[in-house]
Structure 1
Amino acid sequence: MMDGAGWHQDVSELKNISILKLPPYSPELNPIERIWRQLKQTSLSNRCYKGYGQIVEAGCAAWNALVAEKDKLCSLVACEWALL
């Protein structure tokens, strides 16, 4: 899936990949947006950090906790409409 961001690479030459272009302004269709929302709601919002190192540490801890919950992660990124 591509959301049309300018920094994404052109993969049109690759024969074994099917591109699903997302409509503009559709964060609800982009799986990473659901992951970010989950991390912000459960681990990263309403916090104060003393510096960049603490921010990175909190982000890594939140990500590792989410990855440890494989069923939760799979449910966040599952896109029934994108099955080919």
Structure 2
Amino acid sequence: MHKPNSKKNFVQEVAATLPPGVAPEQVDIWFQDEMRIGQRGTQTRLWARKGTRPRVVRQQQSESAYIFGAVCPRQDSAIGLVMPHANTEAMSHHLQVLSEAVPAGRHAVLVLDRAGWHT
């Protein structure tokens, strides 16, 4: 994984990392991110007689999933996946789907945020 020094040098950094024979005009820039969504139990309320304090079991577990998404403004294209975990396997699947979205004869540069698990 390559980290550009600054936004100003981005085009030069990308051009310097391209394989021989690949022109910058053949490259699409994709922007990727992921996020966790889910549900967590909340405060339980119920009707009761004044002066009583009924006991109620409250949902303690949580359910969540991860949304992986990427967009390419130049191609007006986007992909998205809902995955049960954010890990290497999920990211590999995301990259596979992304590679299938890149048109034949084109190449993709994927811009990631600097989340710790990306490295």
TM-score band, normalised by the shorter chain? 0.3 to 0.5
Query: Greater helix percent: which structure?
Result: 1
Q: State TM-score, norm by structure 1.
A: 0.32
- Higher-Rg member (1/2): 2
